[in-house]
Structure 1
Amino acid sequence: MPHSIEKVLVIGASGLVGGHLVRQLLTEGRTVHCLARDATRVQELADAGCEVTTGDILDPAAVATALESVQAVYICIHTLSPQAHSSSGQNFMDVETAGIQNVINGCRDVGIRRLMYVTSIGVATDARSAWVCGRAQIEQRLFATGLDVTVIRPGMIIGRGGTGFDAVARGARGRAAIVLGRGTQRFRTIAVDDMAYYLAGVLDDPRSFGHHYDVGSDDVMTIGEMIDVAAERLGRRRPVKVHLPGRLLRSAAPLIERATSMPRGAMTGLVDSLQVDMSGDPKPIRLILSRTPQTYRQAIEHALR
């Protein structure tokens, strides 16, 4: 059956989720564009047929250029990660909020109605974490635009190149594994291939307009449990868990941000998010997209292979 939306823009294609989404959309026969600060980071996608516009989401002109001739937009950005020099010194949520407002304005200017945004399970406007609260506020802003918005909220994404997964893999390979906080936080897990499936699956489905969906497998685990399963898969002994107290991380946050080029406030937002329940409820989206998600063990075996 032909797609109703043929031309799509992916913002954040250089990241784990965005890259897999681009490949999924290309496989489906859609025309895919991406907006990337560094074209060399998406060269593999360009070679596969993705058209690349070089620019930053904070640049309205670059956003406007990227939106030319497309019918829908995916936003898969991760502002806890190091940002471009142009955003240095800004609060990390200010970066995301300003960038997404540029996308909203650009969509209105050219008449694009379909927009999808990736946040996280557990986002809430009353959360202590500025990251969790800020993304919930952006969700509300998007839904208030009157555009055909769908928000996908994943749990811990399992795939090589993902910040959380890479930390799990490093811990599993060592004799000791660093765990932020007390390690009691539980995450619903989702394979990155399943994440791309859900994102592509809602694109043409009007039932998803105006809704947010938690996505993930039936596995809900702590970071320590994830590390132990990964270690078992690698044929290694379970590592000793070394916990870094949240209070220590919070006090060192400004130094960590400067040393790693993270935006201002990002480390504190990350530490505060360790108190958030990340289990969610994946049942609603399964009513419209019925593929059974991979288990954590299946996802980890594929990612470590």
Structure 2
Amino acid sequence: MTGRTRHVLVTGASGYVGGAVARALLAQGHRVTGLVRDPGRAVDLASAGASLRTGDMLRPETYVPLVKEADAVVHAAQLRFDGRLTRARIRRIREADRVMTDALAQSCLRDGKRLVYASGGWIYGDRGRSWIDERQPHHPAPLGTWHAAGVARLRALAGHGLDYTVLHAGFVYGPGGHFAQAFADPAAASGRVRYPGDGANYWSCVHLDDLAAAHTAALTGAPSGAEYNVCDDEPLPLAEFARQAARALGVRKAGAVPRAAAALALGTPVTASLTTSYRMSNSRAREELGWRPAHATVAEGLPAAVAAMRPTAPLAGAA
């Protein structure tokens, strides 16, 4: 893949990561076809110049024809559920990812297109305080199981000529998304930030804009088959992330929730994943892609992210 990419198909373009990638591509002058479930949720992308197409992850006929029209594909779609994420729902997420990843990979292989697959740090599982690079085997936490399966299938197609690259993102923070769901919205309601377990486990984090920039870099700069950890420079314990989030959100304090209580509220798979320790190195992305996180630490990136999503009224419990 060369720097001549002009037309990119982005799956999940109305979602948190897919939307950010699509906006970054548009800002660089690329043409973007955004695959969405509900065009009403992507009005801003349409206004920015993206061409929207409606599709369903479980119906390849709704998106496979779009691959031939594009120069490359960014696969960031994920099946979403409201409420607790049970094991049954995780099986459905994994099946949707299997169907869509396989269909896109076969289409990219047939048509000679590059596929960029959006994965996550939970693919590595719990590694304690050890640093993780891309050579580490995958022993995924529950919320990383579908990515581990997807990456394994992509690797199997490498010998057949598939041009692909994988980005393993840390915990993504920015306006909205999981940061809002897990931290900002509960803080607005209760006046505090809560986290599951003792908070000693390490999180590698990445600002949404930095993750989008890594995707655009990988489209043209990554060798085929390369995988990259995309995270900032300083992993930090979950308890410290929560304390920094509390300060940025202007609430009184951060506090722990026992794992058993968290599992009742969030579901066991989510709690097990959130309490996983993953301390990732971004050295390979820096060296091979020339990518640098504009927000090198959570302390640098979080205040601006919160400011971009802050309501006009003060948060409940603000000092």
Aligned-pair CA distance for 1:9 = 0.4
The residue type equivalent to 1:203 in the other structure is L
Q: Which whole-Å CA distance do the structure 1 matches of 2:183 and 2:261 have between them?
A: 22
Contact 2:198 2:239 in 1 (8 A): no
Aligned-pair CA distance for 1:35 = 0.9
Contact 1:5 1:71 in 2 (8 A): yes
2:100 aligned counterpart, secondary structure: helix
The residue type equivalent to 1:42 in the other structure is A
Q: Report whether the alignment pairs 1:139 with 2:151.
A: yes
The residue type equivalent to 1:100 in the other structure is T
Matched residue, 1:281: 281
Matched residue, 2:49: 49
Matched residue, 1:64: 64
Q: Which whole-Å CA distance do the structure 1 matches of 2:270 and 2:81 have between them?
A: 11
Q: Report whether the alignment pairs 1:129 with 2:144.
A: no
- Please, which of 257, 263, 271 is the counterpart of residue 243 of structure 1? 257
Aligned-pair CA distance for 1:80 = 5.5
2:120 aligned counterpart, secondary structure: coil
The residue type equivalent to 1:276 in the other structure is T
Q: Report whether the alignment pairs 1:213 with 2:228.
A: yes
Contact 1:33 1:52 in 2 (8 A): yes
2:52 aligned counterpart, secondary structure: strand
The residue type equivalent to 1:191 in the other structure is H
Aligned-pair CA distance for 1:99 = 1.9
Contact 2:199 2:239 in 1 (8 A): yes
1:123 aligned counterpart, secondary structure: helix
Q: Which whole-Å CA distance do the structure 2 matches of 1:64 and 1:184 have between them?
A: 44
Q: Which whole-Å CA distance do the structure 2 matches of 1:89 and 1:24 have between them?
A: 29
Aligned-pair CA distance for 1:31 = 0.6
Residues 114 and 273 from structure 1, CA distance in 2 versus in 1: closer, same or farther, beyond 3 angstroms?
same
Q: Which whole-Å CA distance do the structure 2 matches of 1:246 and 1:55 have between them?
A: 38
Q: Which whole-Å CA distance do the structure 2 matches of 1:302 and 1:208 have between them?
A: 33
The residue type equivalent to 1:301 in the other structure is P
Counterparts in 2 of 1:81-120, with a 5 A limit? 81-82=81-82, 91-109=92-110, 111-120=111-120
RMSD in angstroms over aligned alpha carbons? 2.7
1:144 aligned counterpart, secondary structure: helix
Counterparts in 2 of 1:1-305, with a 5 A limit? 3-79=3-79, 81-82=81-82, 91-109=92-110, 111-124=111-124, 127=139, 129-146=141-158, 147-173=162-188, 174-205=190-221, 207-239=222-254, 241-246=255-260, 249=263, 252=264, 267-287=267-287, 288-294=289-295, 295-305=297-307
How high is the TM-score relative to the length of structure 2?
0.79
Aligned-pair CA distance for 1:285 = 0.6
Residue by residue over 1:41-61, the C-alpha shift from the partner in whole angstroms, topping out at 9 and shown as x without a partner, is 111101111011111121111
Contact 1:229 1:297 in 2 (8 A): yes
1:138 aligned counterpart, secondary structure: helix
The residue type equivalent to 1:194 in the other structure is D
**Structure 2 portions without partners, runs of 5+:** 125-136, 308-319
Residues 27 and 175 from structure 1, CA distance in 2 versus in 1: closer, same or farther, beyond 3 angstroms?
closer
Contact 1:157 1:165 in 2 (8 A): no
2:41 aligned counterpart, secondary structure: helix
**Structure 1 portions without partners, runs of 5+:** 257-266
Q: Which whole-Å CA distance do the structure 2 matches of 1:215 and 1:198 have between them?
A: 7
Residue by residue over 1:89-148, the C-alpha shift from the partner in whole angstroms, topping out at 9 and shown as x without a partner, is 963211211221222233345x04300011112414663634323321210211222311
Aligned-pair CA distance for 1:246 = 4.2
How high is the TM-score relative to the length of structure 1?
0.83
2:139 aligned counterpart, secondary structure: coil
Q: Which whole-Å CA distance do the structure 2 matches of 1:128 and 1:299 have between them?
A: 27
The residue type equivalent to 2:304 in the other structure is H
Matched residue, 1:264: none
Aligned-pair CA distance for 1:301 = 1.4
In percent, how many aligned pairs have the same letter? 26
Aligned-pair CA distance for 1:185 = 2.3
Residues 70 and 82 from structure 1, CA distance in 2 versus in 1: closer, same or farther, beyond 3 angstroms?
farther
Contact 1:117 1:150 in 2 (8 A): yes
Aligned-pair CA distance for 1:178 = 3.0
